[in-house]
Chain A
Amino acid sequence: MEKAAATPLVKGKAGTRRRLNMRRSIQLKNILLAAALPIAILVIWEVAGTMGKLNPILLPTPSKILEEFVSLTASGELARHLGISAWRALLGFLLGGGLGLAAGIWVGFSYKTERLLDPTLQMLRTLPHLAIAPLFILWFGFGEMSKILLIAKGTFFPLYVNTFLGIRSVDGKLFDVGRVLQFSKWHMITKLIVPAAMPNILLGVRLSVGVAWLVLVVAEMMGSSSGIGFLINDARSFSLTAVVFVGIIVFALVGKLTDSLVKLLERRLLRWQDSYKGDGTL
């Protein structure tokens, strides 16, 4: 956004500025168009609700949901649950993602390790979280441990698979360059393999972060006394549907926010790639 605005100003041409204004108005039109349908739905929903056409237990009105959102925020309850959820997701992601990255590098590096580890890991990868959750609860109880481990299991694989792929797709010709420049093994990893695999690694991070939130809900709904997942589950058992909606919206917002953060990271780290050159002008 900023970049797009800055470039034409440097050129200082009236023509480019006019083109920029035109692009702005097109963008604005696009946003309005995209928002039209959701807004229409919200309005109809609200009107139908206030007219008593909807069962408030199944479908509370948008204003009711907003009200609930405000009161939960004001009481600090929402922030507390969100904080706990975020903490779990972060720990699980760091543990699983970190191990996934390390395993991906290790297996990517050596065919021997690949033959030893990859078949087992691929088998574990296909196990559904829901099937494993009861086992984790049996082993580690209802405490933090089972939740974090479940998230770790979920976040491990996207990073593992993508890091592995990234490393295997490093141009072999660049390895010769590293050898000729007498890179140490450490420099081969940090100066060559990791940067070259970075596009894949970041894709893995993005997928992992998404999985972290998904698994978090499963973990918190299976048995917990805190967190957004608990908030939703608890509200459901008391038929506080508005609170359920608030929980879902919070998940959606936080998911989108973290995804944008990773995207931002991508844009910074992958500046060298062609595809990021014309960013903001599309």
Chain B
Amino acid sequence: MAADTLVIERLNRTFTSPAGDVTALSNIALKVKKGELITLIGPSGCGKSTLLKIVAGLDSDYSGTVLLNDKPIEGPSIEKGFIFQEPRLFPWLTVEKNIAGNLSLKDSKVRARVDELIALVRLKGFEKSYPRELSGGMAQRVSIARALLRNPEVLLLDEPFGALDAFTRAHLQEVLLDIWQKNRTTMLFVTHDLDEAVFLAERVVIMNPRPGHIRTVLPIDLPFPRKRASQSFQELRRKVLSEFEKVEEPAVDRDHGAGI
């Protein structure tokens, strides 16, 4: 059994504002094994992005324990690759320079690795293009390559394919699985798309809001490559969905309680 790469215990995060405090995360506990692919799913506002930002080191205003390889998170670092919902490329840099970022392409090692990644995300021929010349899906592939170049210990993806059309999304899911199978990078993948959550994950973490907490974790024991139309896939999809329907009711009740 592989060791836990990421350990989260008793994690709480509250945003304070003049209008009142919002508990974005309440008592989160999660262990992620090395090389595991986990998807986090839940309605918007349940704290998915907040959780990812804390793991990334972009938010340090929490209480509880977050350990990466047994060490507490100390700010952002290249160990924790982050892929945002939008590609967030530097518009003044070409594709290859965006991937290299602050590393020099004159370094032959960097050069070779960038070329390798460009092939991996299927962008050969676009090395010298500027971001404005790319489609949304291509730009997101550049941002994936950029994160992978740093050989991250864990890759954090915050609804990375959320803004893309269904075909591009399906294609990028394949690309991502391809990468995962080759590199065995630990991945934490946030989505609000049920299909996507089941298609990619070894385990699906189901969250619900107010306050954001983990409702349940469902293992998806399906071999890769998965077929969306298959019986077993549909069954698991239904299982996750029914978990959500359970989730909705008490959430509403709690709201009423708070209202009174």
Contact = CB atoms under 8 A, between A and B. Distances in A.
Interface in A169-210: 173-174, 176-177, 179-184, 187, 191-192, 195-196, 198
A122 B88 CA distance: 34
A180 B132 contact: no
Nearest to A181: B101
Contacts of B81: 180
Nearest to B101: A181
B56 A180 contact: yes
Nearest to A269: B92
Nearest to B102: A187
Contact of A176 (B58, B78, B92): B58
A272 B76 contact: no
Interface string B153-172: 00000000000000000000
Contacts of A2: none
Interface string B112-149: 00000000000000000011100000000000001000
B90 interface: yes
A274 B88 contact: no
A180 B92 contact: no
Interface in B57-100: 58, 75-78, 80-82, 84, 86, 88, 90-93
A173 B91 contact: no
B87 to A, nearest CB: 10
B184 to A, nearest CB: 21
Nearest to B76: A179
A174 B88 contact: yes
A191 B81 CA distance: 19
A191 B146 CA distance: 15
B132 A182 contact: no
B130 A272 contact: yes
Interface in A31-53: none
Among A183, A192, A272, max chain B CB count under 10 A is at A272
Contact of B90 (A179, A195, A273, A274): A195
Interface residues of B, number: 23
Contacts of B130: 271-272
B203 interface: no
B42 to A, nearest CB: 22
B111 interface: no
A180 B81 CA distance: 7
A271 B129 CA distance: 11
A215 to B, nearest CB: 32
Nearest to A274: B132
A271 B84 CA distance: 26
A172 to B, nearest CB: 11
A278 to B, nearest CB: 12
Contacts of A191: 90, 101-102
A182 B90 contact: no
A180 B82 contact: yes
B38 to A, nearest CB: 19
Given A181-B102, A182-B78, A173 B92 contact: no
Nearest to B88: A177
Contact of B78 (A181, A272, A274): A181
A173 B90 contact: no
Contact of B77 (A177, A182, A271): A182
B150 interface: yes
Contacts of B76: 179-180, 182
B140 to A, nearest CB: 13
Interface centre among A174, A176, A187, A198 (most CB of B within 10 A): A176
A176 B86 CA distance: 12
A180 B93 CA distance: 18
Nearest to B94: A272
A277 B132 CA distance: 10
Contacts of A196: 90, 92
A273 B81 CA distance: 28
Contacts of A179: 58, 75-76
Given A177-B84, A180-B80, 10 more contacts: A174-B88, A176-B58, A177-B90, A179-B76, A180-B78, A181-B78, A191-B101, A195-B92, A273-B91, A277-B132
6 contacts: A173-B88, A179-B75, A181-B78, A182-B77, A183-B101, A272-B130
